[in-house]
Amino acid sequence: MFQIRTDLAVEARELYKEKNKQEIPGVEVEKSEIDNEIEVTRVKIVDDQGSQIMGRPRGSYITIESRGLKSADADLKDSVSKVLAKELIAILPKKKSLNTLIVGLGNWNVTPDALGPQVVEKILVTRHLFRLYNKSEDPSMTSVSAISPGVMGTTGIETSDIIKGIVEKTKPDFVIAIDALASRKMERINTTIQISTTGISPGSGVGSSRKELNEETLGTPVVAIGVPTVVDAATMTNDTIKKVINSFKAQASEGTEFFRLLENMGDDDKYALIKEVLEPYGANVIVTTKEIDKIITDISQIIANGLNIALHPGIDLKDVNRYLH
């Protein structure tokens, strides 16, 4: 049976609503819009029933969407960075001597999977300065360290094992992991940022999920930031077939044999069509946009700006735009 693939909690909710015509029990949803350009959706899974239906752990999933991100100007990028910083500040521990480890997951040699490493390149790391001057806290900044561990195909080591070793040595208050994700809709590719309090599976965006990074595996809370950079070809084909069928139904006369054929086409029939369409190209095909190089550069800057503002009280957008590019 064909399964629609998505890493976004907001899309898992949409799929349930499309099928059942109601909200998911045990899931709370809150939406807000900023300047008609940015939409924030906060999905909170509050019990085991909601967790089972959503297929995700209990916790908060915050989605920041802006359709203009694919061709954003400087003002929109700054606005999204500020929204991201605000949402992060709301969920991060409230303490002056905060110690953070930022992990840029992904493969820097594969552009759609290079989001994490590119974010790390733009982070203001300060842990070494705190150690050099023997300080435990500072009014303008917190202790931040960062690492891009690569992928198991190039290191030969499970990513979670690398991160666990660093966590045990540096003892951060929490970990922020950044990775590429997969979406069910092309319109959400590179226009959406998801923040979650439940951790992440490295490589999920490119179909190579590894051992999860979460509080259970690392022994410290994990906040995940992800951007859908790819869509699964089978998912896109499924959506296309649905639209074609609906278009044919709109043109066909109700009650005719052709209309009944379309009306009675089940999931197994749709799956057979998808399989036939994709068979020549292999089983695991993912799709991204042709402007992916520039987009990854822009979105990594947006995320890095948001992180720098959220983690360092003395830094604002003027500072990051002037000194940290």
**Higher-pLDDT residue of 207, 142:** 142
Taking only Cα atoms into account, the Rg of the chain, rounded to an integer number of angstroms, comes to 21
Question: Is-contact 213 202, C-beta < 8 A?
Answer: yes
103 has which bridge partners? 147, 177
Angle at 150 between CA 145 and CA 156, to 5 degrees: 125
- What pTM, to 2 d.p., does this model score? 0.85
Residue 1's pLDDT is what? 47
Nearest CA-CA partner of 92 in 307, 298, 260: 307
Nearest CA-CA partner of 143 in 87, 218, 93, 213: 93
Asked if the model's pLDDT at residue 15 lies above 50, the reply is yes
Asked if the model's pLDDT at residue 241 lies above 80, the reply is no
CB within 8 Å of 231: residues ≥ 6 apart: 182, 183, 184, 185, 186, 189, 286, 287, 288
Question: Is-contact 204 196, C-beta < 8 A?
Answer: no
Residue 282's pLDDT is what? 57
Residue 52's pLDDT is what? 92
pLDDT in tens, 154-208: 888 889 999 999 999 999 999 999 999 988 887 888 899 999 999 987 655 445 5
**Higher-pLDDT residue of 274, 26:** 26
**Higher-pLDDT residue of 321, 81:** 81
pLDDT in tens, 270-305: 666 776 766 666 556 677 777 888 889 999 999 999
Residue 316's pLDDT is what? 85
Q: What percent of the chain has pLDDT over 90?
A: 50
Residue 77's pLDDT is what? 92
Q: What are the structural domains of the chain?
A: 96-235+285-323 (3.40.50.1450)
> What distances in angstroms separate CA 271 from CA 61, 277, 281, 294, one per listed residue?
30, 10, 16, 35
Count Cβ atoms within 10 A of the Cβ of residue 35 and give its class: 0-12 exposed, 13-18 middle, 19 or more buried. Answer: exposed
With cut-offs at 50, 70 and 90, classify the pLDDT of residue 129.
very high
With cut-offs at 50, 70 and 90, classify the pLDDT of residue 320.
confident
pLDDT in tens, 3-14: 567 889 998 888
CB within 8 Å of 75: residues ≥ 6 apart: none
Residue 186's pLDDT is what? 79
In b/e form, how buried is each residue of 182-196, taking b as 16+ CB within 10 angstroms? bbbbbebbbbbbbbb
Neighbours of 226 (CB within 10 A): 26
